Structure 1
Amino acid sequence: MMQKYEGAFILLSNLEAEVRTAEIEKVKNIITERQGTVDKVNEWGQRRLAYEIDKKRDGYYVIINFTSNADAVNEIDRICKISDNFVRQMITVDESK
């Protein structure tokens, strides 16, 4: 079943622009490969983390709104967990109408 999701991703702040873009593209490709649609990508850019994570104080924030099935969400979670470039990720069901 297709549902609307909002994914919040924090990437390492010291990544080169093309590496960061490639990581964002990877997430978008997972969504589209599974018949989902990327509705909006909002790059907040460099921000200070609320608290230190793995001795890091800053991160590059990206918010992706998308529509897909749970399979895509599980795969994005899996890919983010094994990638060293992602500090944190959180995907929630978008309840807003």
Structure 2
Amino acid sequence: MNKYETVFILTPVLSDEQTKETVAKFKKVLADKGAEIVNEEAWGLKKLAYQIEKKTSGFYFLIEFNAEPAVIKTLETAYRRDEKVIRFQTVKLDKYAAEYAEKRRSKLGKKEEA
């Protein structure tokens, strides 16, 4: 199994409940295909660098997971089919990126405890 990280941006006009449902739907896609979700982060509403579909902001989410390569195609198809997703990107983490992600997670964990 490979380590992956996916970031997706949702349209800013969604309610809190709608964003949670959408994120849960993508997590279910991963779980149904046997992926192990390692970490998830809601980065919140952020301003976009440039307009996308006449929108200047969006809700950013990050999910780190372990999965087989075939899962990525299914996940990205789900992103493309959902009109709430403005943009997405999924990358395979090499050993250095995986180490960095783990350090970042541990730093976030320490901040939340304090």
Q: TM-score, normalised by structure 2?
A: 0.80
5+ unaligned residues in a row in structure 1: which ranges? Answer: none
Query: Is 1:52 matched with 2:70?
Result: no
Q: Percent identity?
A: 25
The runs of at least 4 consecutive aligned structure 1 residues that moved more than 6 Å come to none
What pairs with 1:1-97 in structure 2 (closer than 5 Å)? Answer: 2-95=1-94, 96=97, 97=99
SS in 1 for 2:31: helix
**One-letter code aligned to 1:40:** N
Higher helix share: 2
Give the number of equivalent residue pairs: 96
Cα distance in 2, alignment partners of residues 91 and 52 from structure 1: 21
Q: Which structure is larger by alpha-carbon Rg, 1 or 2?
A: 2
- How large is the Cα RMSD of the aligned pairs? 0.9
Alpha-carbon deviation of 1:71? 2.1
Higher strand share: 1
SS in 2 for 1:52: strand
Q: Larger RCO: Structure 1 or Structure 2 (Cα < 8 Å, ≥ 6 residues apart)?
A: 1
Alpha-carbon deviation of 1:50? 0.7
Cα distance in 2, alignment partners of residues 94 and 13 from structure 1: 28
The CA deviation string for residues 45-82 of structure 1, in whole angstroms up to 9 with x for no partner, is 00000110011100000011011112221111001111
**Which residue in the other structure is 2:107 paired with?**
none
Cα distance in 2, alignment partners of residues 73 and 63 from structure 1: 15
